[in-house]
Structure 1
Amino acid sequence: MPQSKQSHRKDEHVSLAEHYFHGDQPNDFDEVRIRHDALPETTVAEISTNTTIGPWHWSSPLYIEAMTGGSIQTGKLNARLGKIAAACKLPIATGSQSVAIKDPSLAPTFSVLRENNPNGLVFGNLGAGQSLAAANTAIKMLHADALELHLNAVQEIVMPEGERDFNWLANINHLVTHLDRPVIVKEVGFGISRPTMQQLYAAGVRYLDLGGRGGTDFAEIENRRRPQQEMTYLRSFGLSTVESLLAVNDHPKDLTIFAAGGIRQPLDVLKALMLGADAVGVAGVILHELLHHSDDEVIAMLTSWQYQLRLLMALVGAKKLSDLPRLSDKLIYSAKIQAYRQSLA
Structure 2
Amino acid sequence: MEKDMQRAKRKLEHIQYALELGDGPAATHLADLRFLHNCLPEINPADFVLSVEILGKRLRLPFFIDAITGSTDAVTEINRKLAQVAARTGIGMAVGSQFGAVRDGSGIASYTVVREELAEGLVIGNISALATPAQAQAAVDMLQADALEVHLNAAQELWMAEGDKDTCGLLANLVQIRDAVSVPVIVKETGCGIAAEQYELLLEQGFTAFDCAGAGGTNFPAIEAKRQGVELTEEFAAWGVPTCWSLLDAQQTLPQNALLLASGGIRSAGDVARAFALGADAVGITTPILRLIIEQGVDAAADYVESLAEGLQKYMLLLGCLTPKELRDVPLIVTGETRDFIASRGYELAKLCRWRRG
Could you say which TM-score interval applies, normalised by the shorter chain?
A: over 0.9
Q: Which amino acid aligns with 2:216?
A: G
Structure 2 alignment gaps of length 5 or more: 347-358
- Pairwise CA distance, 1:248: 1.5
2:213 corresponds to which residue? 211
Q: Which moved more, 1:220-229 or 1:195-204?
A: 220-229
**Secondary structure, aligned partner of 1:33:** strand
Residue of structure 2 in register with 1:315 after alignment: 318
Tell me how far apart the structure 1 counterparts of residues 94 and 135 of structure 2 sit (CA, whole Å).
17
The Cα offsets for residues 258-316 of structure 1, whole Å up to 9 and x where unpaired, read as: 11001111110000000111111001111111111111111122122223222221111
1:114–1:143 CA contact under 8 A, matched in 2: yes
- Letter paired with 1:42: I
Letter in 2 for 1:285: P
- Deviations along 1:176-201, one digit per CA (max 9) or x if unpaired, are 11211011110000011001001111
Task: Give the Cα–Cα distance (whole angstroms) in 1 for the partners of residues 203 and 27 of structure 2.
Answer: 32
The answer to which of 92-101 and 35-44 deviates more is 35-44
Paired residue for 2:116? 115
Residue 73 of structure 1 deviates from its aligned partner by 2.7
In structure 1, distance between residues paired with 2:207 and 2:268:
29
Per the alignment, in what secondary structure is the counterpart of residue 193 of structure 2?
A: coil
Please say if 1:61 is aligned against 2:59. no
Distance 2:124 2:66 in 1: 9
Amino acid in structure 2 at the alignment position of 1:20: L
Matches of 2:245 and 2:275 in 1, distance apart? Answer: 11
Q: What amino acid is aligned across from residue 283 of structure 2 in structure 1? A: V
Residues 203-282 of structure 1 aligned to structure 2 (within 5 Å): 203-229=205-231, 233-250=235-252, 251-282=254-285
Partner of 1:94: 95
- For the structure 1 residues 129 and 233, does the alpha-carbon distance in structure 2 shift closer, same or farther, using more than 3 Å as the test? same
Aligned sequence identity (%): 34
Q: How does 1:176-215 map to 2 (within 5 A)?
A: 176-215=178-217
Structure 1 unaligned regions, length at least 5? none
Amino acid at match of 1:209: D
Alpha-carbon separation, structure 1, partners of 2:159 and 2:240:
14
- Alpha carbons of structure 1 residues 155 and 232: separation in structure 2 relative to 1, 3 Å: farther
Secondary structure of 2:228's match?
Answer: coil
Q: Is the 8 A contact 2:82 2:290 kept in 1?
A: no
Q: Which amino acid aligns with 1:320?
A: T
What's the TM-score, normalizing by structure 1?
0.94
Change (3 A) 1:24 1:4: closer
For residues 210-257 of structure 1, the C-alpha deviation after alignment (integer angstroms, 9 at most, x for no partner) is 000010001111111224435564111010110001111121122111
Whether the 8 Å CA contact 2:26–2:215 is kept in 1: the answer is no
Q: State the Cα distance separating 1:159 from its structure 2 match.
A: 0.8
The alpha-carbon deviation at position 66 of structure 1 amounts to 0.8
How many residues end up aligned between the 2 structures? 343
- Asked whether the equivalents of residues 85 and 91 of structure 1 are also in contact (C-alpha less than 8 Å), the reply is yes
Paired letter, 1:145: D
Of 305-314 and 86-95, deviating more is 305-314
- Inter-partner Cα distance in structure 2 for 1:123 and 1:187: 15
Partner SS, residue 95 of structure 1: coil
- Give me the whole-angstrom Cα distance separating, in 2, the residues matched to 1:97 and 1:84: 21
Q: Deviations along 1:52-92, whole A, 9 cap, x unmatched?
A: 32433333221111111122331110011111111111110
What are the equivalent positions in structure 2 for 1:36-47 lying under 5 Å apart?
Answer: 36-47=37-48
> Which of 285, 289, 294 is the equivalent residue of 2:288?
285
The answer (yes or no) to whether the contact 2:29–2:242 under 8 Å persists in 1 is: yes
CA distance in 2, matches of 1:233, 1:322: 35
How far 1:343 sits from its partner (Å)?
1.3
Cα distance, 1:15 vs structure 2 = 0.4
Instruction: Give TM-score scaled by structure 2 length.
Output: 0.91
- The worse-fitting range, judged by mean Cα deviation, of 139-148 and 246-255 is 246-255
State the alpha-carbon separation in 2 of the partners of residues 322 and 128 from structure 1.
Answer: 30
- 1:306: which partner in 2? 309
CA distance in 1, matches of 2:221, 2:14: 11
Partner Cα separation in structure 2 for residue 105 and residue 298 of structure 1: 28
Q: Does 1:31 align with 2:32?
A: yes
Aligned equivalent of 1:85: 86
Contact 1:176-1:204 at 8 Å conserved across structures: no
Aligned pair in 2 of structure 1 residues 15, 241: CA closer, same or farther (>3 Å)?
same
SS of 1:134 mapped into structure 2 = helix
Return 43-52 or 192-201, whichever deviates more. Answer: 43-52
Counting only pairs closer than 5 Å after superposition, residues 317-336 of structure 1 correspond to structure 2 as 317-327=320-330, 329=331, 331-336=332-337
- Whether contact under 8 Å (2:27, 2:242) holds in the other structure is no
Q: What residue in structure 1 maps to residue 339 of structure 2?
A: 338
Distance 2:343 2:100 in 1: 42
Kept in 2: contact 1:177–1:204 (CA 8 A): no
